Amino acid sequence: MWRRNSLGGAGLRRQLRTARVLFDSGDLIGAEVLLRRLLPDCEEELGADHEETIGLLNLLGSTLYQQRKLAASAQVAREATDRAARAWGPDHPATLDCAHNLGAALAVQGDAPASVAVLDDTWQRRARSLGPAHESTLTTANTLGATLFAAGLRQDGLAVLRRARAQSANLPPGHPVREEIEVNLRIAERNTGG
């Protein structure tokens, strides 16, 4: 049986960096192709629950999300979340990053109940482990608030966004997370009359 030559650990890491550069530069198709090609090699050489394999899965999910391949993005994000939870536990920052991405993918896919459940759990875990005013916690609160509002749970969405705005006061003015919370809150308040 034919087998591709092994890239080895250093070769895999170099290819993963290349995939990240492709993603960051907006070449999402190139990043997706490379990540899909690297996944079996990472799983075989490093292990399915290795940090770099899980990071690859998370990046692949983000790549799919950016291309609006939503079902595939949610599936990959769920797998990354499950592997991260096995490897590091449910409250580890990397697990929570994967879970946030899963919740966002589910929201854009239109599965509000599943998205809200994942995002609310992630928000609570991030608040406990990182603190309520941490940038990652606020990012999840913002996504949860916007998702609740869009799903018709307007008062719940407003409450989460208002809480996030209050907690984001420690971020410097002009910080992207603080700005995004402000924008979402203004939209929500404008659409509810208050």
3 pLDDT above the threshold of 60:
no
Using a pLDDT cut of 90, give the percent of the chain over it.
91
- Domains, in order of start, for the chain: 8-91 (1.25.40.10), 111-194 (1.25.40.10)
pLDDT at 11: 82
- The residue written with tokens 């999910």 in the block is 61
**pLDDT number for residue 193:** 79
SS (H, E, C) the chain: CCCCCCCHHHHHHHHHHHHHHHHHCCCHHHHHHHHHHHHHHHHHHCCCCCHHHHHHHHHHHHHHHHCCCHHHHHHHHHHHHHHHHHHHCCCCHHHHHHHHHHHHHHHHHCCHHHHHHHHHHHHHHHHHHHCCCCHHHHHHHHHHHHHHHHCCCHHHHHHHHHHHHHHHHHCCCCCHHHHHHHHHHHHHHHHHCC
Is the torsion defined by CA of 52, 42, 15, 13 positive or negative?
positive
pLDDT band at 1 (very low <50, low <70, confident <90, very high): very low
Q: What angle do CA 31, 11, 33 make, to 5 degrees?
A: 20
Length of the chain: 194
Does residue 7 register a pLDDT over 80?
Answer: no
**5 vs 39, residue with greater confidence:** 39
Instruction: Specify the pTM.
Output: 0.89
At 120, list the tokens: 């609310």
How far is residue 45's CA from residue 8's CA, in Å, rounded to a whole number? 7
Distance from C-alpha of 112 to C-alpha of 152, rounded to nearest angstrom: 10
Q: For residue 2, what pLDDT is reported?
A: 30
d(CA 34, CA 75): 18
Q: Distance of CA 50 to CAs 41, 53, 63, 88, 108, Å?
A: 12, 5, 20, 10, 28
Indicate if the pLDDT at residue 8 is higher than 80. Answer: no
Give the pLDDT confidence of 106-163 residue by residue, as tens digits: 999 999 999 999 999 999 999 999 999 999 999 999 999 999 999 999 999 999 999 9
